[in-house]
Structure 1
Amino acid sequence: MSSPDEAEAPEPGIARRPVEVATAAILIGLAGLVLWDSYGRGAGWDGGPQNGFFPARVGWLFLAAALFILFQSFRSENQVFVTWRQLAQVVRVLGPLVLFVALIAPLGLYVAAAIFIVVFMGVIATARWWSILLTAVLVPLACFWIFELQFRVPLPKGPLEAALGY
């Protein structure tokens, strides 16, 4: 057991400064894109605002905020932004989500949702197999009934729905 005076070594991970610098660089690039497009459309005032007038003003504010983030990143203490353990948890959640989004176009929303539920509940929640399968069947069916049949809101469908006549 360590005493309160002993400083524990920080858990290893990704440092804060590189994350802030990368974020600032991405935002500076986006601000540059907004400004380039705005001035390409006309960002002046010719008897009234041109198409790019207001987006250009927002782009300049965006650029100023991004430069402030960059400046502050070098002034702040370089602490651990995220530990490797925390990052692994994010990847465990992000992986099934990316799979879900990738499967919507070829399989449809409902089949992709069923696969997402199986993967997510199996990997993250480690639930019992019967509850995973029950949830993976009932949730997409309930969503189909609510959105497609009751509200008549068409959502992306795949080969299964086409085979069933939807």
Structure 2
Amino acid sequence: MSQGSAQPSSAGKGSRPAARRNPYALIRPRRGRVVAYVAAVVVFATFLLGAIIVPGQEGQKDDWAISDRLLIAAIGAAIAWFLWRLGSIRATPSKQGLVVRNLLLTRTLAWDEIVRMQFGGGAPWASLDLADTDTVAVMALQKADGEYGRAEAARLAALIQHHGDATEPQRRS
């Protein structure tokens, strides 16, 4: 009689039953995203404030010119962009394939290109082994996220197994 009851997933508090979870839901890290976004705002505001309040009365030695102020603001904007990009890493699965957005590059992969996923050893995030012997990091699946990260990695591994038919590349001797 208890066969028909759905058991909640052990992926964490408030998670939906595994059978009802969308397997194509967006994959994002939990902890690093919030920290990166908050740091981006704080860094940009600090550099912008610094560019505004540095001394610069005309006619004094060692004045901060407008170009100096603009450079300070630009450096703050560049650091904030980098942190914002760090916060926006993700993996987007679909029925056609997987879009992996890492820190600097975004890569679109068809399911049949992916041989397997690795989420072990000393690496801080998952990686995908491809049929052409290339390896793609998936920074959205991080070990620092603990049980949540492992559950998301299991979901991606199931999608790879379901959709993929890539075979292990043959090594040349």
Q: What TM-score do you get using the length of structure 1 for normalisation?
A: 0.30
Structure (1 or 2) with the greater helix fraction: 1
Which one has the largest radius of gyration? 1
Structure (1 or 2) with the greater strand fraction: 2
Q: What TM-score do you get using the length of structure 2 for normalisation?
A: 0.29
